[in-house]
Amino acid sequence: MAAGSFEGQYVWSPAADDRALARACMDVRAGRYLSAHEVLKETRGDFEVRAHRSLVLASVAADSDLAERWLAEEPGAEAALLWARVAMLRALRMADAGDRRQGALARIARSACDRAAKELPEDPTPWVAQLALTRLDRPRDPAPQGLLTAPAGPWYLFAHILRLDAWHREAHHRFLSYFFTRYGGSSSASWDVAAFLSQRAPATSPLRLLPLVALVEDYDPTALLADRTWEQPQWITTATSIHRNWFPRVADYRFTPVLDLSYLAHALFMAKREFEAREVFTAMGPFAARMPWSAFGDPAEQLSRARRSCGLPVPHGS
């Protein structure tokens, strides 16, 4: 297949190549929850996948009454978890929209998270949902030693989650987002937290990507030479180190980590490391995530521009 052509289109579904999850999402859209129960129950021993699947399912269920109905008809750990995730998403969406109902929805979400945590105490996912809600009430726990700016935040809740799962991916990303400027934080705090969290993670961990996430979050297209930022030595070193140490591990993942691969591919492309970026794009196949591309324009156009630069095919007409 020649560069410039592409058989099909990008697949933007967050389920990616998790076929069981994709089928469960279809059932949820149709108002059925049995397959959602199955794909969540199967993850009780893999909290990373449990967090991902529950969030994707909740994003599908949030606009219907399926979560409430499931909880009423067949209560249990999985039903409680999906309800907690749905309630969390609804509260955050109302807050982002400036809706005055956000306070009531946040209280409902916290209650739902408490219930889910009691159903399966070893599961960090309900606590991660609680962590996502902290950007609404802005707790101010003192930071531990080792951070230059010592930013106050939900450190106690984060520490509790880490006792359950020390390298929980979503927990780290939720915690970092608390310090984003758009949620009431600051650039200096988010940079500090991203560096602190990534440096304590193993070199082979996807958490090493956190500074790249903060870099995209802080992107200002009006700044002088903004797009050249990724060409600075520190960011080239960061991206190539992740490519060298974490990227080879992706082949052993149960499902393709599309979002993490997208951030890595983007950073390598922006750093003009097209050879390494091409490898990452190839590993993603047709699957795509809107971030980080949407921070720079239309995500499909930005992704296609990067793929063309790396000599890879793009969907016809894009």
Q: Pick the more confident residue, 4 or 239.
A: 239
Q: Tokens for 198?
A: 């990534």
| Prior bond of 292 cis (ω within 30°) | yes
Asked if the model's pLDDT at residue 1 lies above 90, the reply is no
pLDDT tens string 126-181: 999 999 999 999 999 999 999 999 999 999 999 999 999 999 999 999 999 999 99
pLDDT, one tens digit per residue, over 243-284 is: 999 999 999 999 999 999 999 999 999 999 999 999 999 999
Phi-psi category of 225—alpha, beta or left, where left has phi over 0 and alpha has psi -120 to 50? left
Task: Give the Cβ contact number of residue 197 at 10 Å.
Answer: 21
Three-state secondary structure string covering 63-116: CCCHHHHHHHHCCCHHHHHHHHHHHHHHHHHHHHCCCCCHHHHHHHHHHHHHHH
Residue 141, pLDDT score: 98
Residue percentage of the chain with pLDDT more than 90: 93
Residue 72: phi and psi, rounded to 5, are -75, -40
Interhelix angle 125-137/47-61, rounded to 10 degrees, is 60
Task: Determine the Cα–Cα distance for residues 305 and 202; give it in Å rounded to an integer.
Answer: 32
User: Confidence class of residue 317 from pLDDT cuts 50, 70 and 90?
Assistant: low
Residue 128, token pair as written in the block: 């991660």
